[in-house]
Amino acid sequence: MADRKGKFAGDDPFEIAKSWLAEAETAEINDPNAIALSTVDQNGMPNARMVLLKDIETLGAGDGAFVFYTNYESQKAQELDSAGKAAFVMHWKSLRRQIRVRGTISREDGPQADAYFNSRSLKSRLGAWASKQSRPLSSRAALVAEVAKVTAAQGANPDRPPFWGGFRISPVEIEFWADGDFRLHDRFRWSREGRGDPWKIDRLNP
């Protein structure tokens, strides 16, 4: 597309996304990798929450995925497993840009998940063991007590819990948006039928 220049230029949407994130890492004060993840429950009721994107995988030939980690027993994980698809938006006020993604879901619970878990601080790893994410909690004191119990049981080098790991979003649609004067924003949508299929790129009205 002739007018897809500058920040929008490139033949691989995952490389463009990585470039935008790298720019945001120098400009955003907190959590430039935060995404608003959207799921639906078994009744079709939508849900949204902020999570941290941990990897943008690039596999060549315009293929790749977006990876984040969570408790597999959490509400979000149950909704992801049930629906098999999700969407998210990543918005940077400092750059006045955003990326929207929709795609299918698969788990990442192998060596890659182990490596990421082991890279976290000890307190975060113990917290992952202690938290029964999304379920009712009687008090903060009860949570602190559970952390102490887990610390005694797991020691200084806990393994990744069997109920904790990653999710990979393989997109069928990625939209790059940049703020424009007088709300004449620039929007480019990359879409494909499925993983491995060629991308179609459309400029969208603001």
Structure confidence by residue, pLDDT tens digits, 69-107: 999 999 999 999 999 999 999 999 999 999 999 999 999
pLDDT of residue 2: 59
**pLDDT at res. 5:** 82
Alpha helix (H) ranges present in the chain?
13-25, 75-83, 111-119, 122-130, 140-154
Q: With 70 as the cut, is the pLDDT of residue 142 above it?
A: yes
The mean pLDDT value of the chain amounts to 95
Which one of 183, 189, 195, 203 is the catalytic residue? Answer: 183
Close Cβ partners of 9 (under 8 Å, ≥ 6 residues apart): 16
What is the arithmetic mean of pLDDT over 36-48?
96
Output the six-digit token pair for 161.
Answer: 């819990």
The answer for 99, left when phi > 0, alpha when psi is -120 to 50, beta otherwise, is: beta
At 153-180, the pLDDT tens digits run: 999 999 999 999 999 999 999 999 999 9
Q: What share of the chain is helix, strand, coil (3-state, %, to 5)?
A: 30, 35, 35
pLDDT category at 61 given cuts 50, 70, 90 is: confident
**pLDDT tens by residue, 182-193:** 889 999 999 999
pLDDT at 119 exceeding the cut of 70: yes
Res 194: pLDDT: 86
pLDDT tens profile 6-23: 899 999 999 999 999 999
Output 188-194 pairs: Cβ under 8 A, ≥24 positions apart: 188/1, 188/4, 188/8, 190/13
| DSSP 8-class letter at 159 | P
* Banded model confidence at residue 120, pLDDT cuts 50, 70, 90: very high
Which phi and psi (to 5°) does residue 49 adopt?
Answer: -160, 160
**pLDDT value at position 1?**
58
- Tell me if residue 183 is catalytic: yes
> Tens digits of per-residue pLDDT, 123-133?
999 999 999 99
Q: CA 187 to CA 3: how far, in whole Å? A: 11
What is the 8-class DSSP label of residue 98?
E
pLDDT band at 59 (very low <50, low <70, confident <90, very high): confident
